[in-house]
């Protein structure tokens, strides 16, 4: 598959929605808002027994398109150009030419090198990343995003619990309430719709009056005629709660100096907003940050590749990620928020190891991949598992289950860190059962398990 040959890796504004995806969306609408009693947030929340409960928020950085593990966090000797500097610190070998900031904070990184995927196609791989489930048209409409599950479980605040930066997270709340769906932005900084001053000092008053009139003229808003309408109204109420509130608007207001440190890029500004959402302590629980175009089939190390008008490559993407993520970790450490914030960095699968392909890139590989965890009770300066000499298969799983680590295990780890019972199941509107972390379709020993080895 060639770069940009599938819809989900297109840049915002050029995303194509297939007829199948559109029908899937309408199918989901029919069951939205039917909220089981079991998932309603309790008045007093306590972590589920047996969970770690070390974090209050998860920032999930989704490297859409699948980064090459053997060129990033499972680096193999000889892969980078000769003039690149490869360093080893805290047992983590990393290319400091493309990761100058991350190579200086390896003591904060927990690298998982025994990850695998059951998928080798981008749309299905991304679906698994978003939901911890394999895509099945029969039940996709009843499969909520991980972020929606988190939002439904944890205490609410003023801020939307599930925030999606840099674009659509790929799935919503499905049969869970619309209140748990993602608040999605294409542009992170300067989100322009929280207030207007068309009427000067009377603007907020006029807005409140018109909103009250809208509700008065539409009595069905007080008693929704069906679940889909209730779900739609929940989104309206969420948006209304964000209007004319500096505590919300300030999260999306980016100072020039901060943008300069994080990088004036989509990922840089998104991570800046993610930091501000965490530091606001207003209820953000799952922040999905999309970093696009990691489908590096060609010219991985060619500097200026993007400037030539071609799809971004490893050089561009790694430098962007390094700058934004390095600043995020530094700022959360300085404010004392890193300890309560779990950062997860990963894509949907790995890349073919060994020599580059004929285009100077790497192709798809599901038998080996890697991810990085930071903060939220995770022990830094730690490596979990290893691959073989070239990075094609897992050589040492490095954890209790003695097998490869799958997205279901990572999801169970996230839930455990947030104090959520990863073994929980819910009835669905069609009469089925939704599992927070379903059985892994890889054969024996397939029960999802938190990777407790990552924790301090």
pLDDT tens digit string along 246-280? Answer: 778 889 999 999 999 999 999 999 999 999 999 99
Determine the structural domain holding residue 167 and report its residue range. Answer: 16-194+245-454
* Residue 205 forms part of a structural domain: no
pLDDT for the residue 214: 80
* Residue 49 forms part of a structural domain: yes
* Residue 373 forms part of a structural domain: yes
Q: Which parts of the chain sit beneath pLDDT 70?
A: 1-43, 191-196, 221-222, 227-229, 231, 234-235, 443-444
The whole-angstrom separation of Cα 9 and Cα 309 is: 16
CATH number at residue 92: 3.40.720.10
* CB environment 116-144: b (16+ within 10 A), e (fewer): bbbbbebbbbbbbbbbbbbbeeebbbbbb
Residue with tokens 């008693």: 223
pLDDT for the residue 11: 34
* Residue 212 forms part of a structural domain: no
Give, as one character, the DSSP assignment of residue 77. T
Which tokens belong to 3?
């770069």
Is residue 360 helix, strand or coil? strand
* Residue 368 forms part of a structural domain: yes
Alpha-carbon separation of residue 434 from 162, 175, 405, 424 (angstroms): 19, 10, 21, 9
* Residue 105 forms part of a structural domain: yes
Alpha-carbon separation of residue 94 from 72, 82, 324 (angstroms): 7, 14, 17
pLDDT for the residue 231: 66
Q: Tally the C-alpha atoms within 13 A of residue 427's C-alpha that lie toward its C-beta.
A: 7
* Residue 232 forms part of a structural domain: no
Q: How many domains does the chain have?
A: 1
pLDDT for the residue 376: 98
* Residue 4 forms part of a structural domain: no
- Determine if the pTM surpasses 0.85: yes
User: What are the beta bridge partners of residue 289?
Assistant: 61, 165
Backbone angles phi, psi at 360, to 5 degrees: 80, 25
Contact 313, 301 (CB under 8 A): yes
pLDDT for the residue 312: 87
């Amino acid at each position: 598959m060639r770069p940009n040959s599938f819809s989900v890796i297109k840049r915002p504004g050029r995303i194509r929605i297939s007829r199948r995806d559109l029908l899937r969306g309408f199918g989901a609408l029919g069951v939205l808002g039917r909220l089981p009693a079991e998932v309603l947030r309790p008045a007093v929340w306590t972590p589920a027994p047996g969970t770690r409960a070390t974090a209050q928020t998860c920032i999930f950085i989704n490297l859409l398109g699948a980064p090459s593990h053997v060129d990033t966090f499972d680096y193999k000797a000889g892969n980078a150009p000769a003039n690149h500097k490869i360093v080893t610190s805290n047992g983590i070998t990393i290319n400091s030419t493309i990761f100058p900031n991350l190579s200086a904070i390896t003591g904060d990184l927990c690298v998982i090198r025994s990850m695998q995927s059951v998928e080798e196609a981008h749309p299905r791989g991304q679906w698994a990343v978003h939901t911890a489930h394999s895509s099945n048209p029969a039940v996709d409409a009843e499969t909520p995003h991980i972020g929606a599950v988190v939002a439904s479980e944890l205490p609410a605040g003023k801020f939307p619990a599930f925030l999606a930066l840099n674009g659509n997270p790929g799935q919503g709340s499905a049969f869970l309430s619309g209140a748990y769906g993602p608040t999605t932005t294409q542009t992170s900084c300067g989100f322009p719709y929280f207030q207007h001053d068309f009427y000067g000092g009377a603007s907020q008053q006029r807005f409140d009056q018109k909103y009250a009139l809208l509700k008065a003229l539409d009595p069905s808003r007080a008693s929704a005629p069906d679940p889909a309408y209730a779900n739609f109204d929940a989104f309206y109420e969420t948006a209304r709660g964000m209007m004319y509130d500096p505590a919300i608007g300030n999260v999306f207001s980016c100072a020039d100096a901060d943008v300069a440190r994080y990088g004036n890029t989509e990922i840089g500004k998104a991570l800046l907003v993610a930091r501000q959402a965490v530091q606001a302590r207003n209820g953000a629980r799952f922040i999905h940050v999309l970093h696009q175009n990691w489908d590096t089939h060609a010219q991985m190390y060619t500097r200026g590749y993007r400037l030539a008008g071609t799809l971004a490559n490893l050089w561009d993407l790694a430098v962007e990620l390094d700058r934004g993520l390095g600043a995020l970790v530094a700022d959360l450490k300085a404010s004392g928020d890193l300890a309560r914030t779990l950062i997860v960095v990963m894509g949907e699968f790995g890349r073919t190891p060994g020599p580059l392909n004929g285009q100077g890139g790497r192709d798809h590989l599901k038998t080996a991949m890697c991810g990085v965890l930071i903060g939220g009770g995770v022990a830094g300066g730690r490596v979990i598992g290893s691959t073989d000499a070239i990075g094609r298969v897992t050589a040492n799983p490095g954890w209790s289950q003695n097998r490869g680590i799958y997205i279901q295990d990572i999801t169970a780890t996230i839930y455990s860190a947030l104090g959520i019972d990863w073994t929980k199941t819910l009835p669905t509107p069609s009469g089925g059962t939704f599992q927070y972390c379903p059985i892994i379709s890889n054969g024996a020993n397939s029960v999802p398990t938190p990777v407790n080895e990552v924790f301090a």
